């Protein structure tokens, strides 16, 4: 089996507070293969963005990685010095954030920002860097790129700004792009365009994508595989089609039923009672057990690990372990 | 037309977005106006859910605010249960206001953080003098239970609740004046999907229980599809299409509606081919002449660039597009 591009193993992120340590990510493990788009979904507070921040070493203090490891092409990157990490960030891992207005500096033109990024990471002359920047803007669909490159961020509309941010993320030919809610701030008609640009531009350059979003629809259209996060743990991970059409974890299937669709005409949406637990009140055993309709004793006692289900699927739910026990007998 | 609860005719609202006087003089600029709502007309029948959809800047919220009387229209008329809303008369507005309420998008901003939940819900009851004394407390408890909270929650403050629970409190407050009509402005867009499902189900149950009429404002087509009977599609302040919910999704008449439908991510993974969406919503201060959608329209014709299309009756509503008026074969679906 080839080494995955990114491998995250048992990642633990903790926030020490006056009232004790909060564990925001609890033994999160997943891989991203080369050229793959991995979707990461979950509701607010599930730890999606935190996973992205931990990988690129941008955890905000006092948050810290308290365990596990992150490997990029086999090399550990979670214990690099800030100086070394800075060379990975941007060069090997590009980033696209939710709000395109805050990820661009309003005081510099787009050209200055792109050229600076390119020349920080690649050995190019000013002129070549500019040529490259125009090519990137053109690729992400900015009309008259050669002229517009000298505009300031405020001259661009929201969708166009997000295109500039994607161009910035791709400027140094990274191997992985982490996109954190890249379309959440945009209108639906623009969202579809940005998702297409992001996916195509990354595939062309052979970059893998970690797409963090709360929108299952975006994942369905974009990702190859999807990881579902619940209360800082991976509940289910597998190929998109399998997870969306035949979710196995009770949380995922509840979540899928809760989403209204254009084609379905159900009178009522599936309802998961309650809400996600706070970090200081995560129940013992399976974090989902108080809301689960299939709960049994073991769920309240032991935490389920990810159980391989074949075809690349993994589910953290005791229901499937029990099945296996039965099969053994 | 006796079953029409709310009727909106030619509703128009301009906002003055001019630069300050001195700048105008020095830079020789004219006054600038933004037309947030341009000659919008629709009817809402008793007991139905009418939805307005559109992207940002389409005028959804402006129309909602005019309907509940928070903004005065520049032109046009709003008739509620046969009576025209008279913005000049405070007394007349107050009697009307009891009969309609509003639920806002952000449940963190719409509840006063210094008030107890019980007082928040009791305020409309007190304002309209519907009850007195101990009766009010009992009614607040009852309302909290109706929306799925407990009567004891009345003593708590809003910060003790999650987003979904706060939206339930906002709904209890809206119900407290016993309204017939509730304007819901993006009621679930600040919520997670599993909580959104709870709130949408609750809104449906309440509609059945109290015979409410809803005006639902949303940018999320799947929510609109799930909740509404009839839908109006807005683009840059103009109503481009009105139709029955089913019809709008199976047989959209206006090219913009079709584009919006195509832009929704496909959860069913049906692999349907999508018409690529192009362009963005233009600046509403200076909208394109003629049909505002013409720069993005795949079927644009010469007259679209000059003449603003009028609403033409369709099978279940209206649509404003030159393609329909000609009697020419409608554009094929992509």
Q: What is the pLDDT of residue A253?
A: 92
Please give the helix or strand (H or E) that residue A180 lies within, else none. Answer: strand A176-180
Q: What is the DSSP pairing of strand B312-313 with strand B318-319?
A: antiparallel
Interchain CB contact of B49 with A (< 8 Å): no
Give the span between the Cα atoms of B273 and B256, in whole angstroms: 17
All domains of chain B in start order, with CATH: 4-99+179-325 (3.40.50.300)
> Looking at the DSSP assignment, which residues form a beta bridge with residue B319?
B241, B312
Measured distance CA(B310)–CA(A189) in Å, rounded: 24
Q: Do A269 and B259 touch (CB under 8 A)?
A: no
A130: left (phi over 0), alpha (psi -120 to 50) or beta: alpha
Chain A residues closer than 8 Å to B222 by CB:
217, 259-262
Residue B329: its pLDDT value, please? 44
Q: What is the pLDDT of residue A192?
A: 84
Burial B118-145 (b: 16+ CB within 10 A, else e): bebbbebbeebebbeeeebeebbbebbe
Report which secondary-structure segment, H or E, holds A17. strand A6-17
CA distances from A153 to A104, A109, B305 (A): 7, 7, 30
- Which candidate from B56, B164, B226 shows the least CB-CB separation from A260? B226
Q: Environment class of residue A224 by beta-carbon count within 10 Å: exposed (0-12), middle (13-18) or buried (19+)?
A: middle
pLDDT at B24 over 90: no
- Type and span of the H or E element at B207: helix B193-210
Looking at residue B334, its pLDDT comes to: 35
- Model confidence pLDDT, tens digit, residues B106-157: 888 899 999 999 999 999 999 999 998 899 999 999 999 999 999 999 999 9
Q: Which residue of B has its CA nearest to A278?
A: B162
Ordered by start, the domain boundaries in chain A are: 6-328
Mean pLDDT within B172-184: 94
Task: Flag whether pLDDT at B160 surpasses 80.
Answer: yes
Q: Is A125 helix (H, G, I), strand (E, B) or coil?
A: coil
How confident is residue B257, by pLDDT bands cut at 50, 70 and 90?
very high
Q: For chain A, say whether B249 makes contact (Cβ under 8 Å).
A: yes
B29-39: b (≥16 Cβ within 10 Å) or e = eeeeebbbbbb
pLDDT value, residue B55: 86
**Per-residue pLDDT tens for B290-314?**
999 999 888 899 999 999 998 899 9
| Block mean pLDDT (10 aa), chain A, length 329 | 88 92 93 94 90 91 92 92 90 88 90 94 93 93 91 90 92 93 85 88 90 90 94 95 92 90 76 86 93 92 91 92 58
Put simply, the answer to whether B193 touches A217 (Cβ < 8 Å) is no
Does an H or E element contain B175, and which?
helix B163-175
Closest CA to A173 of A201, A151, A196: A201
Residues with Cβ within 8 Å of residue A246, at least 6 apart in sequence: none
Choose the closest CB to A261 out of B222, B227, B261.
B222
Considering only residues B17 and B5, tell me which one the structure prediction assigns the higher pLDDT.
B5
Q: Beta strand A75-76 with A93-96: parallel, antiparallel or unpaired?
A: unpaired
DSSP code for A89: B
The whole-angstrom separation of Cα A306 and Cα A317 is 7
Ordered DSSP codes for B237-279:
TEEEEEEEHHHHHHS--SHHHHHHHHHS--TT------PPP--
Supply the DSSP string of B211-240, one letter for each residue: T-EEEEEES-HHHHHHH-SEEEEEETTEEE
Question: What is the SS3 assignment for B65-131?
Answer: HHHCCCCCCCEEEEEECCEECCCCCHHHHHHHHCCEEEECCCCCCCCCCCCCHHHHHHHHHHHCCCC
Q: Which pLDDT does position B34 carry in this prediction?
A: 87
Owner of token pair 């589910």: A315
> What gap in Å lies between CA B108 and CA B96, rounded to an integer?
27
Instruction: For residue A260, count other CB atoms closer than 10 A to its CB.
Output: 23
Selecting from A43, A189, A217 the residue whose C-beta is nearest the C-beta of B194 gives A43
Range A6-328: architecture per CATH: 3-Layer(aba) Sandwich (3.40)
pTM score, whole prediction: 0.86
Does B91 reach chain A within 8 Å, measured CB to CB? Answer: no
Chain B: give the shortest CA distance to residue A288, in Å: 13
For the segment B218-246, the average pLDDT, to the nearest whole number, is 92
- Strands laid side by side in the B318-319 sheet: B100-103, B181-185, B213-218, B49-53, B230-235, B238-244, B318-319, B312-313
pLDDT of residue B1: 44
């Amino acid at each position: 089996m080839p080494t995955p591009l990114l491998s995250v193993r048992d990642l633990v992120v903790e926030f020490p507070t006056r009232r004790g340590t909060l564990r925001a990510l609890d033994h999160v493990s997943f891989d991203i293969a080369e050229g793959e788009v991995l979707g990461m979904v979950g509701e607010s507070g599930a730890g999606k963005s935190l996973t992205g921040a931990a990988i690129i070493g941008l955890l905000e203090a006092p948050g810290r990685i308290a365990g596990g490891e992150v490997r990029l092409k086999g090399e550990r990157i979670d214990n690099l010095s800030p100086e070394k990490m800075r060379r990975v960030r941007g060069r090997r891992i590009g980033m696209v954030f939710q709000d395109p207005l805050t990820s661009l500096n309003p005081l510099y033109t787009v050209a200055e920002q792109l050229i600076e990024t390119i020349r920080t990471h690649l050995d190019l002359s000013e002129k070549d860097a500019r040529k490259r920047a125009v090519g990137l803007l053109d690729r992400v669909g900015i009309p008259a790129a050669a002229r517009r490159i000298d505009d300031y961020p405020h001259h661009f509309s929201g969708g166009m700004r997000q295109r500039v941010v994607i161009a910035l993320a791709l400027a140094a030919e990274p191997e992985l792009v982490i996109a954190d809610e890249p379309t959440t701030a945009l209108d639906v008609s623009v969202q579809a365009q940005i998702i297409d640009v992001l996916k195509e531009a990354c595939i062309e350059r052979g970059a893998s994508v970690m797409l963090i979003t709360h929108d299952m629809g975006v994942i369905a259209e974009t990702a190859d595989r999807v990881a579902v996060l619940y209360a800082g743990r991976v509940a289910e991970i597998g190929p998109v089609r399998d997870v969306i059409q035949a979710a196995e974890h009770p949380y995922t299937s509840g979540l899928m039923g809760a989403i209204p669709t254009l084609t379905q005409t159900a009178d009522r949406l599936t309802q998961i009672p309650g809400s996600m637990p706070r970090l200081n009140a995560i129940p013992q055993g399976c974090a989902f057990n108080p809301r689960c309709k299939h709960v049994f004793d073991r769920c309240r006692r032991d935490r389920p690990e990810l159980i391989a289900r074949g075809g690349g699927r993994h589910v953290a739910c005791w229901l499937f372990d029990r099945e296996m026990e039965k099969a053994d007998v | 037309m006796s079953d029409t609860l709310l009727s909106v005719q030619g509703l128009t609202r301009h906002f003055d977005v001019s630069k300050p006087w001195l700048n105008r003089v020095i830079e020789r600029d004219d006054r600038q106006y933004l037309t947030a709502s341009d000659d919008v007309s629709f009817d809402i029948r008793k007991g139905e859910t009418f939805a307005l959809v559109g992207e940002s800047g389409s005028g959804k919220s402006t129309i909602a605010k005019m309907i509940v009387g928070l903004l005065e229209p520049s032109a046009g008329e709003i008739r509620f249960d046969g009576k025209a809303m008279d913005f000049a008369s405070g007394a007349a507005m107050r009697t009307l206001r009891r009969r309609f309420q509003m639920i806002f998008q952000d449940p963190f901003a719409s509840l006063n953080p210094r008030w107890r939940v019980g007082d928040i819900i009791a305020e409309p009851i007190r304002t309209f003098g519907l009850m007195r004394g101990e009766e009010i407390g009992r009614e607040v408890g009852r309302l909290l239970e109706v929306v799925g909270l407990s009567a004891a929650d009345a003593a708590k403050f809003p910060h003790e609740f999650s987003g979904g629970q706060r939206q339930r409190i906002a709904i209890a407050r809206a119900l407290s004046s016993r309204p017939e009509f509730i304007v819901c402005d993006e009621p679930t867009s600040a919520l997670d999907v599993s909580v959104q499902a709870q709130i949408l189900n609750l809104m449906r149950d309440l509609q059945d229980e109290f015979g409410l009429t809803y005006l639902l404002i949303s940018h999320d087509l799947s929510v609109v599809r799930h909740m509404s009977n009839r839908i109006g599609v807005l683009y840059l302040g103009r109503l481009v299409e009105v139709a029955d919910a089913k019809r709008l999704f199976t047989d959209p008449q206006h090219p913009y509606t079709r584009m919006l439908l195509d832009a929704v991510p496909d959860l069913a993974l049906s692999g349907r081919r999508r018409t690529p969406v192009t362009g963005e919503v233009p600046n509403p201060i200076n909208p394109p002449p003629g049909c505002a959608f013409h720069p993005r329209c795949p079927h644009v014709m010469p007259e679209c660039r000059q003449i603003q299309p009028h609403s033409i009756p369709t099978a279940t509503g209206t649509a404003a597009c030159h393609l329909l008026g000609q009697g020419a074969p409608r554009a094929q679906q992509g």
